[in-house]
Amino acid sequence: MKFVIIGGDAAGMSAAMQIVRNSSGNDITVFEKGGIYSYGQCGLPYVISGKIASTDKLIARTQETFRNKYGIDARIFHEVVNVDAKSKQVSGIDHANGKTFTMPYDRLLIATGVSPVIPDWEGVNLPGIFTLKTIPDAKKMMDYLKKEIKHVTVIGGGYIGLEMAESFVELGKKVTIIERNEQLAKIFDKEMAELIHEEAIKQKIVLKFGESVEAFKGQDHVEYVKTDKGEYETDLVLLAIGVKPNTAFLKDSGLITSVNGAIQVNAYMQTSLEDVYAAGDCATQYHRIKEKDDHIPLGTHANKQGQIAGLNMINHHKTFKGVVGTSIIKFFNLTLGRTGISEAEAKRLNIPCQSVTIQATDIAGYYPDDQKMTVKLVYHEHSYKLLGGQIIGGNGVDKRIDVLATALFHSLTTDQLLDLDLAYAPPYNSVWDPIQQAARKIN
């Protein structure tokens, strides 16, 4: 069977490896628009800060490994620009030589990921203005940082914006974050975000809320950011205002798209077109708490969906069970974890909800070096079913968020949280875990 995969990163290569490992005698071709296969995009901010020595450390497998060890026809600089589902072929451009190509398929996987949103602002193409998505993006930014860069402006207070703000501070730069909303990290409820604001201010980051960027100014490089409320001097700008699925090339293919333009898929990663699958950041993910399709582009989802797509493409039937909205980030001395839906989201979805917020410590309060954490649980007002959790603090946030994610996956109530047999010893926990302390306050 002839398999064609568009996209050579997490979802695409997870699928390719499942086909290789679980079948034989197949022909697999992967078209990658860029020049690098299978790398950890989430590690890029830590390469820029110097925590990780080189972008080479982020590459899981090279093009040569896929070709020579696994027999996958892994091509680089091949951009697919058209999918013809009737004739079952794809066509595109080989940017290495400028020539066009056409390739037939029996089954096709679209795993084209997302790209940063770049609005059509005046001056947006000035040197010194960057996005961060790929290894070449990171290398260009690191080269520019060799100049005399004193002040960096981050546009957008989401995860990439926060991670990069930390990296810039660690590099000794003055940092300003401009956010058009009234808080950083809007996936957290407002009172939880205040903890993030406090940490940012403690790190001498200037926060500008409720401001919309209008233009960038400068002679041969960016020198000012102009918003609807003022102008700010800067030496470098990072645009981190969101991403969009790379699906524009499919507009005439007949594929049905959904949230944010992501490709609509079912649990088997099948699209609306026969023998065409999609996975990863360019596809939808079913949200178990919202009970509808969503678009949450994360590496964890991309790897799982790619694996499941690959198995289904060779008739090893497996379904994607959905997501609960779990994510975590390090921001200086804080860990920011969340799962499920926030109180604000629940209200937007017209879900009757209540919440409880407590202060706790990661270990027994009498044991040395305990660290504080703030725990918020959101639950259904009538059934007491857990809807979401947010935890911000020092050590131990990650394991509590994973417990809550597991509880959400299995539709536990807040009362059932109290029945969980969680590990306890003074150096690791209190007799009642912080999430159980919050649940006790409810019950």
d(CA 227, CA 232): 8
DSSP assignment letter at 39: B
Token pair in block for residue 139: 């290398």
Burial of 220 (0-12, 13-18, 19+ CB in 10 A): exposed
- Helix segments in 50-158, DSSP class H: 63-68, 135-144
Cα torsion 428, 432, 433, 434: sign: negative
Q: Tell me how far apart the alpha carbons of residues 224 and 217 are, in angstroms, rounded to a whole number.
A: 5
Report d(CA 15, CA 228) in Å as an integer. 46
Instruction: Please check whether residue 414 is in contact with residue 377, taking contact to mean a CB–CB distance below 8 angstroms.
Output: yes
Catalytic residue among 23, 26, 35, 42: 42
Outline where 171-325 has alpha helix (H).
190-202, 299-313
Tokens for 127?
Answer: 């040197």
AA letter at 216: F
42 is catalytic: yes
434 and 398 Cβ atoms separated by less than 8 Å = no
Burial of 84 (0-12, 13-18, 19+ CB in 10 A): middle
Strands 276-278 and 206-209 come out as unpaired
The partner residues of 3 in beta bridges, in order of sequence, read 28, 107
> What are the backbone dihedrals phi and psi of residue 386, each rounded to the nearest 5 degrees, phi first?
-65, 130
* Residues designated as active site: 42
